[in-house]
Chains A and B, each alone.
Chain A
């Protein structure tokens, strides 16, 4: 998210797996485990598109708190035939942009498309982690506490 346009590189390869952080609790559902369409809603402040990461670590970078992350295959995104693509942020290694996602708070036509695309993206996303990532050092130590 930013106020100045990002310099974007070439689209990623079909087989690339990319990651979307759960920035809000409502981006995912634990039972049954799934990604919710809410995870892919875009507003005007996301001027280039939605943030993704090349790795789970880069997906959550910059978030003070997160609720885990999901993965998604670039080829599956393109297969939706909605004009979406994934491009690298040339000024921020590991940061990727999901381009051409409609703005949900736009016109009714755009809102409808945005809701539909968010639902499609949620269906092809694979939830991986439902808790803050990476686990804090304190959490790592918990099992060793008698």
Chain B
């Protein structure tokens, strides 16, 4: 994402103000939850990220796709509790709350699989998994998770 020039009003020490054109990094335009998720996703391509020996690394296209998808997850406070894992070239974004769990599998660019489960009191667990085309369906799943 490109940096954007943003016009902002700056208060001076004497109480006056003037307009300033400052360069603001795009990360500062987003809530911290989004920033954290972006940082974790970017870290997946770094040599320092701890993959299991022989494991397929996540490619940049899949990371860019995951970013686009997660930007559509609204409200952004859902992202605060998102856990992000890399597994055999895939990105997994998961949420757990009480007996419910939602996982968004991002196996490759333009591919999304949505997994939802609920653990019943008797130990039984029911789940559904389906491919989705519209990332906004994740919001529906997260509303269910947090309801």
Q: Give A contacts to B, CB under 8 Å.
A: 23-26, 36-38, 41, 43, 45, 64-65, 79-80, 104-105, 108-109, 111-112, 115-116, 119-120, 123
- Size band of the B side of the interface? 20 to 34
Nearest CB of A to B91, in Å: 12
Contact residue among B92, B105, B113, B119 (Cβ-Cβ distance under 8 Å from A38) = B92
CA distance A119 to B48 in the complex (A): 28
Type the 1/0 row for B49-64, where 1 means its CB is closer than 8 Å to any CB of A. 0101110000000000
CB <8 Å contact, B129 and A119: no
CB <8 Å contact, A116 and B90: no
* Apart from A108-B130, A115-B115: 12 A-B pairs, beta carbons within 8 A: A24-B52, A37-B94, A41-B87, A43-B88, A64-B53, A65-B50, A105-B107, A108-B113, A111-B105, A111-B113, A115-B129, A123-B119
Q: Give B contacts to A, CB under 8 Å.
A: 50, 52-54, 83, 85, 87-88, 90, 92, 94, 101, 103, 105, 107, 113, 115, 117, 119, 123, 125, 127-131
Contacts of B85 in A (CB 8 A): 26, 38
CA distance A111 to B92 in the complex (A): 12
Contacts of A37 in B (CB 8 A): 94, 101
CA distance A38 to B85 in the complex (A): 8
Nearest CB of A to B119, in Å: 7
Nearest CB of A to B26, in Å: 27
Can you name 16 A-B pairs with beta carbons within 8 Å?
A24-B52, A26-B83, A37-B94, A37-B101, A38-B85, A41-B87, A79-B123, A80-B123, A105-B90, A108-B113, A111-B129, A112-B115, A112-B128, A115-B117, A116-B127, A119-B125
CA distance A41 to B94 in the complex (A): 14
Nearest CB of B to A108, in Å: 6
CB <8 Å contact, B125 and A120: yes
CB <8 Å contact, A38 and B101: no
Contacts of A104 in B (CB 8 A): 87-88
Contacts of B119 in A (CB 8 A): 119, 123
